[in-house]
Every structure is written in structure tokens, then in C-alpha cells.
Amino acid sequence: MMINKIEKIEGGIAYDDRGSVLFVNDFNFSEVKRFYQIENISKEVIRAYHGHEKEGKYVFVSKGSAKIICAEMRDKELIGPASVFVVNSKKPVIIKIPPGFANGYKALEEGTTILFFSTSNLEESKEDDFRFPWDYFGREIWETKNR
């Protein structure tokens, strides 16, 4: 039996005299049925937590940076500890969120744009939709720490 786990699919950026090319060459679109893009009105907005038992997601920050938090779902509850990723468009990566997990995010810069690629069509997704409060793991998980 294969255990679902959150994965990071690393990418890169190539530069030359014409500009740059951002890529994630190891990402395979074969499971993707749809995509959508989100840009919050401000970096103070937190969108969390949204999960699916059957649907998987791939998350790509195309502009700016974001804190992405994922947690396993079991018996319609979130199981901690949560996995926290800080993703920046200057170091491309795709976060693979398998079925059975919930996710949320907060932009860390104004104008951050995030693409979500889904393994379910919209109708399938609506029938497999679980919502949890943004502060399920506490408010402090969303805070930015000065270093």
C-alpha cells in the first residue's frame, strides 16, 4: 500500500541576455484536470484550511512568496503536526498535496500569485470538500518571525 505524503518538486531559473526562464521540469501534468489562480487582496488575508479525501493538489507560487501549511485529515479532523512551507517565486517549487490532506496559505508579499492544479474536476471537488478554521493549529503558526 502506497502512503500519501506531501512532496516538494524542485525547479529552477535559467538566465541569459534575453531574460529568464522559470521552470519545474519534473512536474507531470498527467493527473491535472483543472487549475485556478488566487491573489489575495492583501497579505493579511489567510485562506485556510481546505481539504479533500479524494482530490490532490499541486501548489505553485508564480509571483511573490507565501507560507503554505498542510495537514493530514482523518475522520473529518485535521491531524498535527502541520507541515509548513515558505515558498518564493525566485526559487521555483511545486508542493504536491495528496488526497487526504488539507491546506491553507498566507501571502508574505503584496501581489503574490498562487496557481493551484487539481486532480479533480469542479463537480468532483464540490462533493469532496472539507473546511476547517484558519486558526485550527493556533494563530501563531501564521506569524512571521523576525530573525
pLDDT digits (tens, 9 = 90+) for 90-107: 999 999 999 999 999 999
d(CA 37, CA 2): 30
Higher pLDDT, 10 or 75: 10
Q: Is the pLDDT of residue 1 over 50?
A: no
Residue 27 cell numbers, joined: 512536474
Are residues 121 and 38 in contact, defined by beta-carbon separation less than 8 angstroms?
no
Q: What is the residue-averaged pLDDT of the chain? A: 94
Are residues 56 and 113 in contact, defined by beta-carbon separation less than 8 angstroms?
no
User: Whole-model pTM?
Assistant: 0.91
Q: Is the pLDDT of residue 30 over 70?
A: yes
Q: Is the pLDDT of residue 87 over 50?
A: yes
Query: Burial, 102: exposed, middle or buried (Cβ in 10 Å; 0-12, 13-18, 19+)?
Result: buried
d(CA 120, CA 9): 20
Going by C-alpha positions, the residue among 105, 118, 127, 92 that lies closest to residue 22 is 92
Confidence of residue 3 (pLDDT cuts 50, 70, 90): low
Going by C-alpha positions, the residue among 49, 54, 55, 47 that lies closest to residue 114 is 47
**The pLDDT of residue 2:** 46
